[in-house]
Structure 1
């Protein structure tokens, strides 16, 4: 135990840099030296002696490869030739490590047993390829290592389907390194485990040894993993934004965004190499009875050659500008990869598409963008070989560009491709699916520059679409769709869509163009689905659909239908509150979305206590509308539980009644709840207030928009601040975006007019409440 404790202390001293902070690579080397020194001493003390043949201590895994990162398990094998004392030796080695809480993956086997396990367990077979001698009988270690490699070379090809299946399941669980906002450095597609696959295939002499680009990618992944674990002081391999800032600083990158682009590029290099390696070894092109594979025509100049898309024998890339797009479209449509030789041939001789593109090239592009999931791999293949940049030079600004918002799951380029995948499912909902797909591909093309990405993207997309050769009207529509791609989502979730002024503003913005409106509706859905989990819901879809329907009424000159009146149950609730003099509650739900109606007598505070009680029950408010009836008022909330289920209506009613009467200390209870659920400290932007004067139809009413970090009870505090500042609230919309919110309120002065002094008083109060 003393020995193990000393080892742990020595490892901690290295991590803490008491004698000078080591770089990532130097730290790994120092850890390897430390563990090797301790294990050799411990092995000798346990009875593993090089002078006494028959027992050897062998390292595999990270220690075997000399790539040991902080807080990694030690992978050790105690190899023996039927030594009668092997159990005692093993206990003497393992127990000090366990007592020191050092992770240990261990086994005790004869060479024959180890090889037998390797025939049954793929992980063991690949692990033995890294076997390296630590102590004891070196000849025994060499015999095992040589036999393990020989066995792998003989059996590797038969085990490739198992290897491919294992890799695919891992990728499905862990996602990708490339283009991911939170990459898994070890298990993600394009990560360290995939580099292990390439090494294993090279040992089996099925592919060449990884070259310079892959070795650089490996070094970066190891360095990032090393610094991540050093900063967190534990074994973690998923890099999130807060840790990325620290890791980037330690590795000398300007910020986490530069690091993210480097990591994405490394992941793409490794992922592409693994794809090509597995494709060429697991299922190489072949035909019946070992003959040459059949060549099935897919398009003009394009064939299916075995399991790959390839050029037909009579294809002449230099004379066929649209051939590149037909190849990509065939690959995306069939879900079949493009042959590496075909990509090389196209890169070497495919001519540039001149402005305007020929009609067959435009048709092939539409087919490519509308192909669905197959588009992702097709674009990746073209991008890796520089062919995508020939088609869209503007792509360079967004390639591997990390997202600034935490709600995005992908880099900007992958998000654009993913939006096309989602838009392809909606092409039957619009009259111009070709324009929808182009808008999906280009809607965020303006990101990564110091400008409003929607406005800049509109200008860039206009150039792109003009180059492709679409008519002026179509070019203008795509440009407008890019400029306004956030319009419907922002309006539906941040404004009262029952307001005639809101609907008229949208109709005017889209210039009463019905085709543009339907493209924007489909693009809004595709963009949300491609952003990340939870960004599209039935509730959001309903809001957008309702907004579009009301805009359609205006465009057709039918006039807007009146807002839905309070229903009978809501009116009865208000009347009950007036008779009792207490707050009353009515809850109904559809799925996870609930409608909570809170009623009070006229003149009684409503929004703040209502929002506070809902926050106590972990209900996330999405909208709040205040309506009057007789001598009472109601606040109609749409809300959903952040976790768990909806609260008990009896308890909610009791607490709301107490809150309205002033008998429930909401401020203290919310503060306690915030302490209990406090997230890790993070740097947050200061709250900001924006004013919009022309977005309500009511007299003397303006929209106040608050942008701030999310926190428990924020709506309660802001509602109280508005009331204290003499601002009456007509409706509220709450949009939560990761750790931030955009809360909008239609407000008017109580007993006065909207003027500068009132605005300043309200703004100061709201910012103070949100800070």
Structure 2
């Protein structure tokens, strides 16, 4: 947390900015409407601050929201004169105005028809002019707000829901929006508006304290970025943290924790409001207040009351299984746990060190909770807020509210783990042990937040946790292995040549059984779906599925049992193009795994692959992978691209133009990568492979594959296949390199190729 002095300085700066603007507005207004001027005008016109300006919390680059309001009786010509004389001087002084001119009746009507206008006026403050007019109008707007609240709050709720869908939860999204995300600054303002309806109450003191924390961060964010922004982008977070006297991790946790608590207050307030509205709309209080017993899971210990799961009077809150059962029933029903119930269960739970060993019912209740589906997200959130998760899983503290270092993650690590459990629900029928899949989904990233590779660190942690939960040792070994290898399939599928028989054999040596392969495949699918759209693309899924089937065949003894088996180079699911009648270059384009597959046939020639890669780079074709084989004097290559709009004729023309020598590829593509002064090129040591593997880590740039292929050819090697992985601006490309006979390179040739590629990219 930033020290109290720093926070006091930030609050004082907001007040100073507000006072400075107030002085500018008053000076301009006084020049137009002197205090001794026309009585009609002086008593019927005012400049009003609304929104953040009205609340006295101007940010360094925020808008100044003002309204010139007037009695309906004031002549229009006078209002026009004042408006024109007021806005231009303020613009000249550099103020970023968001202004409006409204009559009193027009202002009231606008507030009736637009809840955002109405809530802005709840913070209205007179800057200059007739204070009585503003107080009267504010009172009327507030009265209208309360009178129409039963219908207006539904518009507010829908707007909040849309914001949540668009901007996510402040506590859990990878790049939080301090204003628009659920649990952000706008939600705090909405809560003030809901309380003003008199239909519901909320702890506004807590809300204001949390809002003040977020305002501090936003002020510093504006200052370090030099612009008005609410998104706490990773590249700005470090500077913001330094300015606030914190580490980047501390800043992220502070922001996310404020968002989590603010969102929790908001959700509770909305539930109470919905209960109030439902009660008033029902024919009798009993229609809503009656208790409906939930037979499955909770049994006689818990009931549904007014849309929440609550404990009955005779329930034993200290029963360690009861909290799990209540949470599981709530999640399956898509209902929230009553905050009072959740707090009571947390208060009665023993500390983790004193907790009794888990028995069969506790394990079953845990699995029921983890396999409950989408309702798990909200229920787990409630359990975490009250501290119950820490009783069951103390290691969760290292994951809570922590962002991922991977740019493809859309959630924090803790939320991602819960989303993985939800996504795993679609694969429960595909595995022999759905309970172990559910537990592994929760724990697959448990090693993050600690030093070392999180998969390796998480393996013994997961085993210890599962044993603590009462699972047998054999089950603990399976979950630990799933955690250790949960990235195996996507990593191998996207960065290795799955057509190489050795690839499937190496994976088969790790997974050993078809049952474990099914579990690992389901976990990989769930993990990818919970990560981002990029991680669950059709191309990525297709590669993983292809690898799984090849490994399955190897386990069943149906694949190539010999690691030295020949490499055919063409996927089983794709027909090899006919070479009959081909006497030049042929290009084919087909839909493939959410993108396109380009097949290029051309007479074999030295350096052909490099020139084809250069031609595709000039055509703007991004690549996922490439493979090539030579037959009957022709080189046949296939190139996977995420693009779906590839024009075959344009590509064919470009390829022919390059192959005919009409383009100087070096001139067009051999340019230094801006900002990349340390590309990494290394040989990957792998046993039983049919090619030498070369990995390139560098900034992505046009023509990268061309440069690598050119260097490999110049050093006496040939690229058999390439597999492209992009992480933000970084690439990690793996190239399978062979000699003229199609065999792996010896050590001397391998190092010569590595040095050539490193030199080409340096």
Within the alignment, does 1:72 sit opposite 2:62 as a pair?
A: yes
Shift of 1:106: 2.8
Unaligned runs of at least 5 residues, structure 2: 1-7, 562-566
Residue 207 of structure 1 is matched in structure 2 by 201
Within the alignment, does 1:572 sit opposite 2:579 as a pair?
A: yes
Aligned counterparts of 1:208 and 1:640: Cα–Cα separation in 2: 49
Distance 1:696 1:27, change over 3 A: farther
> Contact conserved, 2:570 with 2:576, CA < 8 A, in 1?
no
Aligned counterparts of 2:677 and 2:418: Cα–Cα separation in 1: 30
Local SS of the residue matching 1:267:
helix
Shift of 1:488: 0.6
Residue 4 of structure 1 is matched in structure 2 by none
> Contact conserved, 1:407 with 1:738, CA < 8 A, in 2?
yes
Q: 2:255 aligns with which of 246, 263, 272?
A: 263
Residue 521 of structure 2 is matched in structure 1 by 521
Local SS of the residue matching 2:637:
strand
> Contact conserved, 1:615 with 1:712, CA < 8 A, in 2?
yes
Q: Write out per-residue CA displacement over residues 198-228 of structure 1, whole angstroms, 9 at most, x where no aligned residue.
A: 222334453244234x434322321222233
Local SS of the residue matching 2:447:
coil
Local SS of the residue matching 1:75:
strand
Q: Write out per-residue CA displacement over residues 402-461 of structure 1, whole angstroms, 9 at most, x where no aligned residue.
A: 110111111111111111111111111112111111111111110111111001111111
Residue 436 of structure 2 is matched in structure 1 by 435
Q: Write out per-residue CA displacement over residues 312-344 of structure 1, whole angstroms, 9 at most, x where no aligned residue.
A: 2321112x2111111111121111111111012
Alignment map for 1:265-664 (pairs within 5 Å)? 265-284=257-276, 286=279, 289-291=284-286, 293-298=289-294, 299-300=298-299, 301-318=301-318, 320-351=319-350, 354=355, 356-510=357-511, 512-560=512-560, 563=568, 570-572=577-579, 576=582, 579-580=583-584, 583-590=585-592, 592-641=594-643, 645-664=644-663
Q: 1:178 aligns with which of 171, 182, 186?
A: 171
Residue 47 of structure 1 is matched in structure 2 by 33
Residue 16 of structure 1 is matched in structure 2 by none
Aligned counterparts of 1:587 and 1:159: Cα–Cα separation in 2: 54
Q: Matched residue pairs, number?
A: 729
Residue 694 of structure 1 is matched in structure 2 by 686
Aligned counterparts of 1:217 and 1:684: Cα–Cα separation in 2: 41
Local SS of the residue matching 1:572:
coil
Aligned counterparts of 2:496 and 2:744: Cα–Cα separation in 1: 22
Shift of 1:102: 4.5
Unaligned runs of at least 5 residues, structure 1: 1-21, 676-680
Aligned counterparts of 1:220 and 1:533: Cα–Cα separation in 2: 32
Shift of 1:764: 2.9
Distance 1:669 1:565, change over 3 A: closer
Local SS of the residue matching 1:620:
coil
Aligned counterparts of 1:614 and 1:24: Cα–Cα separation in 2: 53
> Contact conserved, 1:321 with 1:352, CA < 8 A, in 2?
no
Local SS of the residue matching 2:122:
helix
Distance 1:167 1:590, change over 3 A: same
Residue 564 of structure 2 is matched in structure 1 by none
Q: Write out per-residue CA displacement over residues 75-109 of structure 1, whole angstroms, 9 at most, x where no aligned residue.
A: 21222222222232122222444567754333333
Q: Write out per-residue CA displacement over residues 271-305 of structure 1, whole angstroms, 9 at most, x where no aligned residue.
A: 11110111112324757602361211222212111
Aligned counterparts of 1:753 and 1:200: Cα–Cα separation in 2: 70
Aligned counterparts of 2:530 and 2:331: Cα–Cα separation in 1: 18
Local SS of the residue matching 2:98:
strand
Aligned counterparts of 1:716 and 1:424: Cα–Cα separation in 2: 43
Aligned counterparts of 1:456 and 1:685: Cα–Cα separation in 2: 32
Distance 1:468 1:253, change over 3 A: same
Residue 766 of structure 1 is matched in structure 2 by 757
> Contact conserved, 1:199 with 1:209, CA < 8 A, in 2?
no
Which segment drifts farther, 385-394 or 22-31? Answer: 22-31
Shift of 1:31: 2.2
Residue 3 of structure 2 is matched in structure 1 by none
Shift of 1:378: 0.7
Aligned counterparts of 2:93 and 2:20: Cα–Cα separation in 1: 15
> Contact conserved, 2:499 with 2:570, CA < 8 A, in 1?
no
Q: 1:33 aligns with which of 19, 28, 48?
A: 19
Which segment drifts farther, 63-72 or 237-246? Answer: 237-246
Within the alignment, does 1:116 sit opposite 2:102 as a pair?
A: no
> Contact conserved, 2:238 with 2:247, CA < 8 A, in 1?
no
Aligned counterparts of 1:183 and 1:614: Cα–Cα separation in 2: 37
Shift of 1:494: 1.0
Residue 13 of structure 1 is matched in structure 2 by none
Distance 1:105 1:494, change over 3 A: same
Aligned counterparts of 1:483 and 1:50: Cα–Cα separation in 2: 81
Alignment map for 1:113-192 (pairs within 5 Å)? 113-192=106-185
Distance 1:479 1:726, change over 3 A: same
Local SS of the residue matching 1:58:
strand
Shift of 1:127: 0.8
Which segment drifts farther, 452-461 or 144-153? Answer: 144-153
> Contact conserved, 1:157 with 1:282, CA < 8 A, in 2?
no
Shift of 1:695: 5.0
Aligned counterparts of 1:247 and 1:208: Cα–Cα separation in 2: 31
Aligned counterparts of 1:313 and 1:456: Cα–Cα separation in 2: 44
Shift of 1:505: 0.8
Residue 5 of structure 2 is matched in structure 1 by none
Aligned counterparts of 1:59 and 1:161: Cα–Cα separation in 2: 27
Shift of 1:501: 1.3
Q: Write out per-residue CA displacement over residues 466-499 of structure 1, whole angstroms, 9 at most, x where no aligned residue.
A: 1111122111111111100000111111111122
> Contact conserved, 2:25 with 2:90, CA < 8 A, in 1?
no
Within the alignment, does 1:222 sit opposite 2:215 as a pair?
A: yes
Shift of 1:739: 2.0
Within the alignment, does 1:724 sit opposite 2:710 as a pair?
A: no
Local SS of the residue matching 2:161:
helix
> Contact conserved, 2:188 with 2:208, CA < 8 A, in 1?
no
Which segment drifts farther, 584-593 or 385-394? Answer: 584-593
> Contact conserved, 1:58 with 1:78, CA < 8 A, in 2?
yes
Aligned counterparts of 1:647 and 1:565: Cα–Cα separation in 2: 22
Distance 1:757 1:28, change over 3 A: farther
Aligned counterparts of 1:758 and 1:381: Cα–Cα separation in 2: 60
Shift of 1:620: 1.9
Q: 2:74 aligns with which of 65, 69, 83?
A: 83
Aligned counterparts of 1:617 and 1:258: Cα–Cα separation in 2: 45
Local SS of the residue matching 1:586:
strand
Distance 1:50 1:69, change over 3 A: farther
Shift of 1:756: 4.7
Aligned counterparts of 2:101 and 2:546: Cα–Cα separation in 1: 67
Aligned counterparts of 1:242 and 1:360: Cα–Cα separation in 2: 47
Shift of 1:140: 2.1
